[in-house]
Amino acid sequence: MSRTALITGASSGLGAEFARQLAATGAHLVLVARDRTALDELAMRIRREHGVEVEVLPADLLKPRHLARVVERLSDAARPIDLLVNNAGFGLPLDFAANDVEVEVRHLHLHVEVPLRLSHAALRSMLPRRRGRIINIASVGAFIPRSTYGACKRWLVVFSEWANGQYARQGVTTTAVCPGYTHTKFHERLGLPPGQEGVPGWMWLDARKVVAEALRDTARGKSLSVPSLRYRLLVGLARFAPGSVGARIGARGR
């Protein structure tokens, strides 16, 4: 699918799963995350199992100098990136008024400014070559009122749909992937152990299936990927539901 993929938030969860599945296709990898130890361990396993080149690029994307290093790597014409996966992110409690506003601002930067800057760098590198793909990990929360998390993810969806329409005919596609609740460590980092997320069991997705479907939709040039039929149905219903109903749905779980 791609010769070299750069993945942010690659040390665990969906980011690590993207790395494993792309390596299985023969893609070389550039793995970006804050945790150097976790990146090194993942890189070692992938090299051993798939024999591909894996570059480790530790970076805290909320630090301007670190973000600049990733932008520089995306802009390196001598080592082109064929696929960018904007996956880094974190969640917050849904009570915006009770949250620390500085933490909310960092949340906004990581979910909007960082993928904006990385997508810009990727497009400027990919368009002259007339080939490339960008994946933005959004959420079904983009279609349901869900505090600032849903608002940030909605930006990713709208931007991805526009960018795909604008640049796909020049050989560069952009896909917003909108998974529902997926078994990763995302909720554990919010202090919610498995089983205490307030989410019914039928709503949970498997990370491997989410990534496999996302990669298929990306290969087809789709601007929007909503893994699993159950969530495609929910998103379709949410688009037509009154705002008050959407808000009640968005208040479920964490």
Distance CA(97)–CA(144), nearest Å, equals 19
CA 44, 45, 48 angle in degrees (round to 5)? 85
| First-to-final CA distance of the chain | 34
C-alpha span between 68 and 243 (Å, rounded): 39
Q: How many CA atoms lie within 13 A of 69 on its CB side?
A: 16
* Token pair recorded at residue 143: 């279609």
Say how far residue 194 (Cα) sits from the centre of its chain: 22
Which residues are the active-site residues?
A: 149
Spatial separation of the C-alpha atoms in residues 203 and 181, rounded to whole Å: 6
